[in-house]
Chains A and B, each alone.
Chain A
Amino acid sequence: RKEVEQDPGPFNVPEGATVAFNCTYSNSASQSFFWYRQDCRKEPKLLMSVYSSGNEDGRFTAQLNRASQYISLLIRDSKLSDSATYLCVVNEGTGGFKTIFGAGTRLFVKA
């Protein structure tokens, strides 16, 4: 089993749609969680951290389910500019040395 597993997609959605991505992780002792966005041929950029209570940033909502060991990202009112690959990131310890990146889920938002 992969340490961090994501559906590679692609997800093809129309503008204005709501889309959700899930990610599962294998290490129950994992401590911190993030979503990154990566545009084609560019570096990953932090989208948001994921907190146990769930958190929202504009159209983006992230949730963590420790019991089931999964993380989700919900994007509401999708924009063309949301088209990218979304990376699920799990940190298994303090510091950045045990950071595991998922392979990403590709999203295409179409007009």
Chain B
Amino acid sequence: SQTIHQWPATLVQPVGSPLSLECTVEGTSNPNLYWYRQAAGRGLQLLFYSVGIGQISSEVPQNLSASRPQDRQFILSSKKLLLSDSGFYLCAWSFLTQETQYFGPGTRLLVL
């Protein structure tokens, strides 16, 4: 069976500091990978998706970036965090040709 991991679970960072969130998937090969952000009381906003190693598509302009250095590893980064970057960050995966997405446990980020 497949599992998805995210870390850290919670993070408190000062404005202007860098960010690195990691997501890994086990039990499948060549998954589609996604990064979402969920603000309080709002729907999930797709930030990035990837169909393969080194292939990243961005859905919204922001000061975040994503990378996929290995097939089952997806990283979300920022060089300088903003207050507005606070939120619940969720990584998800899906099979290559299917729409159903499975989410990791998420990282709750608070930028102060």
Contact = CB atoms under 8 A, between A and B. Distances in A.
Interface stretch (B11-19, B60-68, B69-77, B97-105): B97-105
Interface stretch (A14-22, A71-79, A94-102): A94-102
Contacts of A43: 90, 103-106
Contacts of A99: 46, 99, 101
Contacts, number: 60
A46 B51 CA distance: 21
Contact of A42 (B42, B102, B105): B105
The number of chain B residues touching the other chain, given as a range, is 20 to 34
A96 B41 contact: no
B17 to A, nearest CB: 23
Interface in B83-110: 88, 90, 92, 94, 96-106, 108
B43 interface: yes
B32 interface: yes
Contacts of B90: 43-44
B35 interface: no
